[in-house]
């Protein structure tokens, strides 16, 4: 390490806070040039801490300190010291009142951490450590305080002044006014929020289970106020669900959401005042896709659920982030499953896990869901902490069952309400409420890497047993060469030759059984590195259905042949495994074609995949009017595994062969089944008005999946069908699907149509920021040659700016993450492009810059030529002056690890 490089912080060094802050009184005077923050803090020595004479407070380098006062006396310059990140008070008493006044410049805060400007409004983002950019504080989650906040601003431009809790006083003087907010619940500084602006709002009410009436308000700038009704409905559904499923009632009298255009994350659960990226709260049929609607519902729920899992019970330190995030993601996933199709949600979750978390866990940033160390905590808001964290909570649910899981969560909330705790407290509550032993299960918190589970099965026709030999292994990850065996639930079913579930038996100690209509699933407890399960009463040689519902976040291997996979695709009573069998079949067939291409042989696509798809499509046609048929599930089954996931499954990622092979297989399916695709497309067109209802969403997803195959060869007729949908649609789902297909089409017929469509689309939606984001995304994700030239040109577009995270992500993200053939172009131009963007963003918004980096960090997975090019770009970034800790941590870990 060079001198002056950022240092790592370790979990093992945790110490309780030296002081507690009983009350926090803030006075914030907002101005166009400077903002003044006066903080009056009531400190008492923490009885659990070692006695230290001096007290060090956290603060950012941009705090311009104007006053430091203790118990009403201004301190002399030798009584305290200030550096870039701390204010040290020398020789403090056991109990005292500190008053500080600082000047800050929110309008220059492009990192968007702390208090900043988004358009014409002021807003905050304090998680994880943004509050220290607002005032001197003990900015750590285990310091919880009661807040009273007065906001003072000019009336005309900032008629709305919001903070946490309830508004208790207001007044005005000349052209300025002020509002005082009081939050009766103790909270850590990361949950503080403040908003000031010229905002409109809609209002609703919710009656809680104990009969209290809560006022609900959603605020936006005036041009977006027509896009928040759906979020309001979603909020009410979330509040009801949390009462019914977890027994959790809302606690304040008011709950507010504010939509903000410039925001680093999706949304933030500040107590009583959630702040949302516009992309996670706005929805209107003509501007928002079905996926957008689903995202709004899920994120509104997620942030609301944090009121208990995160706010009432919070984290002791940031290593425990998964305590609130893993649990809350699991809660929002369960909510979405209850609102829509459980299986479709589960497939989406697993696809996300495989696309983002598995690669992370196999790369240089691999970390356990409870990391041991970090340089910059912002880098640990990861798929591992969130999505794998949610899988770990889901495993408690699977191992214990619904009722016992609820007993555990009740105990957790009851015991730790108002506390800042660790993941261990969560596990203890689950154990103690159920008299369960989760000792070995704790490895999920401390070990990184994706476990591999290999299963073989043998049928004994005399004994009527089916024996499963199961092995688990977790590959080495940075800092963890060897792993202990995990305790995990392995949900298993057995199918007879008719495709029905067999009601088999298993040993008591291994078994928890789930029996639904016609479904017989045993949850086996896998604990050993090698373990044998003997299943009895198996009347005939079965086809096993393994890891049903994706019961553990692992990579499972079983030597299925293609006929068995087709059988499971048709018959498995577990919807997730029906989809999974189709994926396995497709992977197998595509990998075969990859091998043919690499060997220079004419590619031959196995007919069986075409027949499997034909069966699925015939079912869609024959049962079109059947309400029980999940069309969204069929659409998912028609989607081949992504190139990224196919790459993930190979030793060395052969980007070009994977792309060519997948196209070959898609082409074969599209050509041979074009008639069926057209029938499915026509059957699922509808003249009815748009509604974001699950059945309608499912119908559109199936229709657009069919259109994608129809556009594969893109003859003239199909191009006009696509143009017709683009021009005639009343909703953004169909409009954007058609636009994407036109843009991606290589055919001569589509060439003129696509340019016209792009221009029309831009002109129509120029004032809708989120739609224009989509316009950038679609172009950046196009797999055709010369996309980088287009992306480069778009960087100069009048609507483009790196300062708005949504816009920056819209252009850079899809090109680098969802466009492998172009990003990995052999010339290295894609790598150079990403490095340039990261270097530029590093000076503007380090957090967003660091997040962009991940595709480059995976350089080890590619051929030597690409490795060299990718590594050179990482080294070029590392050589930059003024590298932020965020970017430094990810780049240095990527190049270091040998
Ligand atoms: Zn969260």
Q: From the CA of 248, how far away is ligand 1's center (Å)?
A: 17
Question: 472 to each of 487, 528, 534, how far by Cα in Å?
Answer: 10, 8, 17
Q: From the CA of 340, how far away is ligand 1's center (Å)?
A: 21
Instruction: Supply the DSSP symbol for 109.
Output: -
Report the pLDDT value the prediction gives residue 313, as an integer from 0 to 100. Answer: 98
Confidence class of residue 215 from pLDDT cuts 50, 70 and 90? very high
Rounded CA-CA distance 260/193 in Å is 13
pLDDT tens-digit series, residues 345-393: 999 999 999 999 999 999 999 999 999 999 999 999 999 999 999 999 9
Q: Which residues contact 798 (CB under 8 A, 6 or more apart)?
A: none
Q: Which of 331, 350, 446, 336 is nearest to 393 (CA)?
A: 331
37-51: buried (b, 16+ CB within 10 Å) or exposed (e) per residue? bbbbbbbebbeeeee
Structure token pair of residue 676: 């069926």
Q: From the CA of 438, how far away is ligand 1's center (Å)?
A: 25
Question: 370 to each of 140, 321, 380, 389, 445, how far by Cα in Å?
Answer: 17, 7, 10, 9, 5
Q: Does residue 452 contact residue 547 with C-beta atoms inside 8 Å?
A: no
**DSSP 3-state of 556:** strand
| DSSP-derived secondary structure for 218-238 | EEE-GGGGGG-HHHHHHHHHH
pTM of the model: 0.98
Rounded to an integer, the average pLDDT of 83-90 is 97
Q: From the CA of 467, how far away is ligand 1's center (Å)?
A: 42
pLDDT above 90 for 507: no
Instruction: Supply the DSSP symbol for 79.
Output: G
Question: 117 to each of 123, 177, 369, 682, how far by Cα in Å?
Answer: 6, 19, 33, 48
Strands 420-421, 543-546: parallel, antiparallel or unpaired by DSSP?
unpaired
Q: Does residue 432 contact residue 411 with C-beta atoms inside 8 Å?
A: yes
Q: Which residues contact 101 (CB under 8 A, 6 or more apart)?
A: 36, 37, 38, 39, 65, 66, 67
pLDDT above 90 for 399: yes
Q: Which residues pair with 122 in a beta bridge?
A: 117, 196
Rounded CA-CA distance 615/631 in Å is 14
pLDDT above 90 for 511: no
Q: From the CA of 329, how far away is ligand 1's center (Å)?
A: 7
Q: From the CA of 328, how far away is ligand 1's center (Å)?
A: 6
Q: From the CA of 511, how far away is ligand 1's center (Å)?
A: 33
Q: Which of 413, 412, 414, 436 is nearest to 426 (CA)?
A: 412
Q: From the CA of 373, how far away is ligand 1's center (Å)?
A: 20
Rounded to an integer, the average pLDDT of 136-161 is 98
Q: Which residues pair with 64 in a beta bridge?
A: 103
Q: From the CA of 514, how far away is ligand 1's center (Å)?
A: 30
Rounded CA-CA distance 438/193 in Å is 38
Rounded CA-CA distance 598/658 in Å is 10
Helix (H) or strand (E) holding 404: helix 402-416
**DSSP 3-state of 793:** helix
Q: From the CA of 211, how far away is ligand 1's center (Å)?
A: 28
Q: From the CA of 60, how far away is ligand 1's center (Å)?
A: 24
pLDDT tens-digit series, residues 771-808: 999 999 999 999 999 999 999 999 999 999 999 999 99
Rounded CA-CA distance 270/188 in Å is 10
Q: From the CA of 95, how far away is ligand 1's center (Å)?
A: 35
Question: 698 to each of 290, 695, 732, how far by Cα in Å?
Answer: 9, 5, 15
Rounded to an integer, the average pLDDT of 581-596 is 98
Q: From the CA of 401, how far away is ligand 1's center (Å)?
A: 24
How far from each other are the two terminal CA atoms of the chain, in whole angstroms? Answer: 16
pLDDT tens-digit series, residues 716-734: 889 999 999 999 999 999 9
Residues with catalytic roles: 303
Q: Which of 253, 74, 269 is nearest to 168 (CA)?
A: 253
**DSSP 3-state of 866:** helix
Rounded CA-CA distance 502/504 in Å is 6
Find where tokens 């009436």 sit.
213
Q: From the CA of 11, how far away is ligand 1's center (Å)?
A: 21
Q: Mean pLDDT over all residues of the chain?
A: 96
Q: What angle do CA 659, 661, 667 make, to 5 degrees?
A: 100
pLDDT tens-digit series, residues 531-562: 999 999 999 999 999 999 999 999 999 999 99
Q: Does residue 426 contact residue 412 with C-beta atoms inside 8 Å?
A: yes
pLDDT above 70 for 333: yes
Q: From the CA of 369, how far away is ligand 1's center (Å)?
A: 14
Edge to edge, the sheet with strand 64-70 lists 73-74, 64-70, 95-104, 35-45, 19-29, 145-154, 176-187, 166-173
Q: Which of 837, 823, 756, 754 is nearest to 787 (CA)?
A: 823
Q: Does residue 57 contact residue 138 with C-beta atoms inside 8 Å?
A: yes
Q: Which of 650, 675, 676, 672 is nearest to 661 (CA)?
A: 650
Q: From the CA of 386, how far away is ligand 1's center (Å)?
A: 8
Residue 441: HSE in the Cβ half-sphere, 13 Å Cα cutoff: 24
716-754: buried (b, 16+ CB within 10 Å) or exposed (e) per residue? eebbebbbebbeebebbbbbbbbbbbbbbbebebbeebb
Report the pLDDT value the prediction gives residue 715, as an integer from 0 to 100. Answer: 73
Q: From the CA of 299, how far away is ligand 1's center (Å)?
A: 9
pLDDT above 80 for 488: yes
Q: Rounded to an integer, what is the distance from CA 580 to the centroid of its chain?
A: 22
Rounded CA-CA distance 488/508 in Å is 16
Q: From the CA of 670, how far away is ligand 1's center (Å)?
A: 41
Q: Which of 829, 828, 841, 758 is nearest to 792 (CA)?
A: 829
Find where tokens 């995270």 sit.
805
Q: Which residues contact 118 (CB under 8 A, 6 or more apart)?
A: 112, 260, 261, 262, 263
pLDDT tens-digit series, residues 679-705: 999 999 999 999 999 999 999 999 999
pLDDT tens-digit series, residues 467-476: 999 999 999 9
Strands 35-45, 19-29: parallel, antiparallel or unpaired by DSSP?
antiparallel
Q: From the CA of 769, how far away is ligand 1's center (Å)?
A: 24
Report the pLDDT value the prediction gives residue 1, as an integer from 0 to 100. Answer: 40
Structure token pair of residue 772: 């224009």
Rounded to an integer, the average pLDDT of 744-759 is 94
Q: From the CA of 440, how far away is ligand 1's center (Å)?
A: 27
Confidence class of residue 714 from pLDDT cuts 50, 70 and 90? low
Gyration radius of the chain's alpha carbons: 28
Structure token pair of residue 246: 């977890």
Confidence class of residue 898 from pLDDT cuts 50, 70 and 90? low
| DSSP-derived secondary structure for 279-314 | GGT---TTT--HHHHHHHHHHHHHHHHTTTBTTTBE
Rounded CA-CA distance 321/422 in Å is 9
Structure token pair of residue 443: 């490895």
Q: Does residue 495 contact residue 568 with C-beta atoms inside 8 Å?
A: yes
Structure token pair of residue 492: 């298993």
Q: Which of 523, 406, 369, 526 is nearest to 454 (CA)?
A: 526
Percentage with pLDDT > 70 across the chain: 99
Structure token pair of residue 300: 């509104």
Q: Does residue 610 contact residue 669 with C-beta atoms inside 8 Å?
A: yes
Report the pLDDT value the prediction gives residue 666, as an integer from 0 to 100. Answer: 97
pLDDT tens-digit series, residues 306-329: 999 999 999 999 999 999 999 999
Q: From the CA of 313, how far away is ligand 1's center (Å)?
A: 13
Length of the chain measured in residues:
898
Q: From the CA of 305, how far away is ligand 1's center (Å)?
A: 9
């Amino acid at each position: 390490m060079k001198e002056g490089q950022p240092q790592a912080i370790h979990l093992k060094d945790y110490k309780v806070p030296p002081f507690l802050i009983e009350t926090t009184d803030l006075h914030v005077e907002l101005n166009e040039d400077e903002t003044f923050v006066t903080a009056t803090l009531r400190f008492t020595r923490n009885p659990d801490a070692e006695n230290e004479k001096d007290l060090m407070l956290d603060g950012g380098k941009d705090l311009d300190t104007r006053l430091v006062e203790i118990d009403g006396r201004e301190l002399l310059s030798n009584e305290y010291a200030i550096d870039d990140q701390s204010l040290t008070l020398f020789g403090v008493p056991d109990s005292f009142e500190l008053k500080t006044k600082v000047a800050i410049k929110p309008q220059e805060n492009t990192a968007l951490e702390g208090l900043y400007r988004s358009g014409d409004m002021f807003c905050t983002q304090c998680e994880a450590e943004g509050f220290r950019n607002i005032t001197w504080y003990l900015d750590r989650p285990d310091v919880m305080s009661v807040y009273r906040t007065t906001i003072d601003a000019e009336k005309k431009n900032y008629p709305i002044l919001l903070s946490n809790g309830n508004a208790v006083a207001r007044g005005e003087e000349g052209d300025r006014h002020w509002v005082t907010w009081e939050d009766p619940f103790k909270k850590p500084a990361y949950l503080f929020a403040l908003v000031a602006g010229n905002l409109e709002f809609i209002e609703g009410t919710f009656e809680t289970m104990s009969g209290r009436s809560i006022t609900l308000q959603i605020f936006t700038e005036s041009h977006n106020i027509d896009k928040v009704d759906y979020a309001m409905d979603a909020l009410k559904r979330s509040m009801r669900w949390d009462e019914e499923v977890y027994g959790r009632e809302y606690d304040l009298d008011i709950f507010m959401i504010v939509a903000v255009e410039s925001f680093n994350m999706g949304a933030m659960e500040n107590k009583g005042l959630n702040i949302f990226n516009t992309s996670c709260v706005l929805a209107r049929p003509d501007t928002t896709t079905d996926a957008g609607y689903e995202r709004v519902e899920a994120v509104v729920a997620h942030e609301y659920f944090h009121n208990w899992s995160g706010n009432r019970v919070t984290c002791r330190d940031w290593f425990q982030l998964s305590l609130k995030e893993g649990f809350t993601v699991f809660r929002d996933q369960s909510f979405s499953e209850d609102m829509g199709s459980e299986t479709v949600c589960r497939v989406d979750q697993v696809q996300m896990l495989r696309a983002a978390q598995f690669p992370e866990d196999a790369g240089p940033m691999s970390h356990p869901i409870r990391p041991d160390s970090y340089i910059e905590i912002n880098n640990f808001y990861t798929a591992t902490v969130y999505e794998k964290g949610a899988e770990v909570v889901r495993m408690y649910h699977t191992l214990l069952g619904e009722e016992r899981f609820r007993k555990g969560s009740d105990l957790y909330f009851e015991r730790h309400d108002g506390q800042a705790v660790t993941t261990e407290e969560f596990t203890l509550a689950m154990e103690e409420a159920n008299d369960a032993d989760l000792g070995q299960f704790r490895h999920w918190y401390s070990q990184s890497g994706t476990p591999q589970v290999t299963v073989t099965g043998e049928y004994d026709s005399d004994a009527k047993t089916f024996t499963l030999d199961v092995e688990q292994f977790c590959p080495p990850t940075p800092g963890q060469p060897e792993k202990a065996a995990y305790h995990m639930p392995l949900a298993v079913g057995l199918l007879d030759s008719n495709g029905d579930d067999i009601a088999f038996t298993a040993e008591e100690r291994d078994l928890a059984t789930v029996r639904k209509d016609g479904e017989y699933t045993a949850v086996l407890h896998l604990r050993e590195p090698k373990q044998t399960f003997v299943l009895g009463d198996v009347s005939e040689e079965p086809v096993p259905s393994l890891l049903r519902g994706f019961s553990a976040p692992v990579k499972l291997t079983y030597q299925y042949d293609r006929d068995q996979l087709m059988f499971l695709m048709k018959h498995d009573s577990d919807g997730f495994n029906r989809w999974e069998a189709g994926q396995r079949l497709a992977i197998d067939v595509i990998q075969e074609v990859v091998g043919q291409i690499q060997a220079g042989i004419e590619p031959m696509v196995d007919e069986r995949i075409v027949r499997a798809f034909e069966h699925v499509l015939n079912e869609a046609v024959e049962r079109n009017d059947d309400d029980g048929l999940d069309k969204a599930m069929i659409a998912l089954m028609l989607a081949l595994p992504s190139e990224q996931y196919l790459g993930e499954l190979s030793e060395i990622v052969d980007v070009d062969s994977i792309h060519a092979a997948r196209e070959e297989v898609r082409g074969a399916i599209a050509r041979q089944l074009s008639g069926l695709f057209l029938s499915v497309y026509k059957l699922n067109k509808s003249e009815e008005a748009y509604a974001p209802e699950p059945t309608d969403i499912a119908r559109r997803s199936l229709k657009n999946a069919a259109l994608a195959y129809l556009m594969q060869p893109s003859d003239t007729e199909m191009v006009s069908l696509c143009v017709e949908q683009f021009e005639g649609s009343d909703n953004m789902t169909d409009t954007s699907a058609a636009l994407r297909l036109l843009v991606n089409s290589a055919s001569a017929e589509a060439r003129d149509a696509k340019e016209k469509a792009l221009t029309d689309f831009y002109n129509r939606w120029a004032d809708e920021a989120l739609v224009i984001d989509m316009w950038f995304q679609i172009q950046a994700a196009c797999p055709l040659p010369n996309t980088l030239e287009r992306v480069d040109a778009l960087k100069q577009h009048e609507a483009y700016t790196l300062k708005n995270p949504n816009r920056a992500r819209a252009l850079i993200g899809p090109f680098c993450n969802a466009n492998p053939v172009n990003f990995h172009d052999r010339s290295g131009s894609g790598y150079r492009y990403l490095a340039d963007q990261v270097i530029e963003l590093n000076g503007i918004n380090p957090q967003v810059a660091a997040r962009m980096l991940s595709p480059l960090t995976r350089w080890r997975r590619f051929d030597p030529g690409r490795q060299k090019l990718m590594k050179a770009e990482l080294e070029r970034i590392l050589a930059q002056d003024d590298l932020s800790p965020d970017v430094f941590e990810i780049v240095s870990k990527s190049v270091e690890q040998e």
